[in-house]
Amino acid sequence: MEQEKHLIMVTWDFTEKSLFALKHAVNISHILKCEVALLHVVKKESEIADTVKKMEEAVINEFKDTSVHFRYIAREGSIFHTIGDVAAEVNALMVVMGTHGIKGMQKLMGSWALKVIASSKAPFIVVQDAPKAEIFKNIVIPITYRREIKECITWAHFYSRVFNTKFILMRAKYSDANFKRGVESNIFFLSKFFTTKAIRYEIKMSEGEKDFGDETINYAKQIDADAIMVMTTRDIGFADYVLGPQEQYIIANTEKIPVICINPRPAKIGGGFSASGG
C-alpha cells in the first residue's frame, strides 16, 4: 500500500545509545520512505552551529546510504521540554530515543526517559541496543485494568497496516473483582477492534505469580518480541516519578527490548491523517 510522507525524530547525544536509536530510525524510514531528523539539545545558543556540524560528520561517517535524507537540529534548552517542543514543531510521527535505563538515584526520582516522553504528543520508541533484522513483526501489549490502555488502538492499527505486526495481549491476573472487570473490559474492547480491523493478535494470560511488569518482560523475551507497547500514566506528576509507574521499569528493562511508549491522548498524524485510518 502507498505510504504517507512522515518524519522520524531521533534524540542525539553523540553516545552509542543514540547511535542505536538512529539505526532503528533508519530501518523504519526505509519502510515509511521518510526523512530522519536528529535533535541535540545544547546549553548555549553559541554551541548550535558547531554541534550541527559535528552531528552531520558523525552521521556521514556511520551511514553511506544516500536514500535516507537526514535533517540536523540543535536547540538550546532542557531535554525535558525541548524534545517535546521540537517534535511538535517538525510534526514528528514518532521519536526514537536511546536510554541507559534506570541507574543510581534515578531509581528513587524516576526515569528521566519517562519525563521526556510525557512531554510529547508523539509516541516514543525507547531503545537500549542495536536493531534486529526484522522490524515489529510481533509486539507485546500488557493489559491491565487501566481504561487508557484502550487508546493504544490508534497506534496498534498503524503498526499493523505499515509493518503487518502481530500483537500479543498480555493479560494481567488480579484477585480484586474491580480490577478483574477492568481487564475484562479492556480485553473485550481490544479484541473486538482488532478483529474488525483484521489486526493479527492473540491473548496470553499472565501467571500472576510475579510482578506483572516482570512477567511481561520475561514473556516478551521468551517469544523474541520486537517490542513492548505501553501507555504512559495519564497526567503523570512528581508523585508518580517517586513511586515509579510500571512503564518506567518496562522502559528500562534489563533484556533491552525496545519499548513503544504512547501518551494517553488523541494521536493525530500531520495533515489531519489519523493513525487509526479513520
pLDDT value at residue 107: 41
Q: Which helix (H) or strand (E) holds 8?
A: strand 7-11
List the single range of 88-102, 171-185, 226-240 with lowest mean pLDDT.
226-240
Q: Is 200 helix (H, G, I), strand (E, B) or coil?
A: strand
What is the architecture, at CATH level 2, of domain 134-254?
Answer: 3-Layer(aba) Sandwich (3.40)
- Predicted confidence (pLDDT) per residue in 185-194, tens digit: 999 999 999 9
Dihedrals φ, ψ of 75, to 5°?
-140, 135
Report, as an integer, the average pLDDT of 30-41. Answer: 95
- Predicted confidence (pLDDT) per residue in 65-95, tens digit: 778 999 999 999 998 899 999 999 999 999 9
pLDDT value at residue 1: 33
- C-beta neighbour count of 272 within 10 angstroms: 6
Q: Decide if pLDDT at 243 tops 50.
A: no
Q: Name the one residue in this structure whose C-alpha cell is 505486526.
A: 165
- Predicted confidence (pLDDT) per residue in 139-164, tens digit: 999 999 988 899 999 999 999 999 99
- pLDDT band of 135, cuts 50, 70, 90: confident
Mean pLDDT of the chain: 85
Report, as an integer, the average pLDDT of 216-228. Answer: 96
CA 113, CA 99: separation in Å to the nearest integer? 7
Q: Is 93 helix (H, G, I), strand (E, B) or coil?
A: coil
Report, as an integer, the average pLDDT of 225-249. Answer: 67
Q: Which amino acid is at 222?
A: Q
Instruction: Residue 76: name the closest of 44, 107, 106, 101 by CA.
Output: 44
Query: Which grid coordinates are listed for 86?
Result: 521540537
- Predicted confidence (pLDDT) per residue in 43-58, tens digit: 999 999 999 999 999 9
List the single range of 7-16, 80-89, 96-105, 238-247 with lowest mean pLDDT.
238-247
- pLDDT band of 110, cuts 50, 70, 90: very low
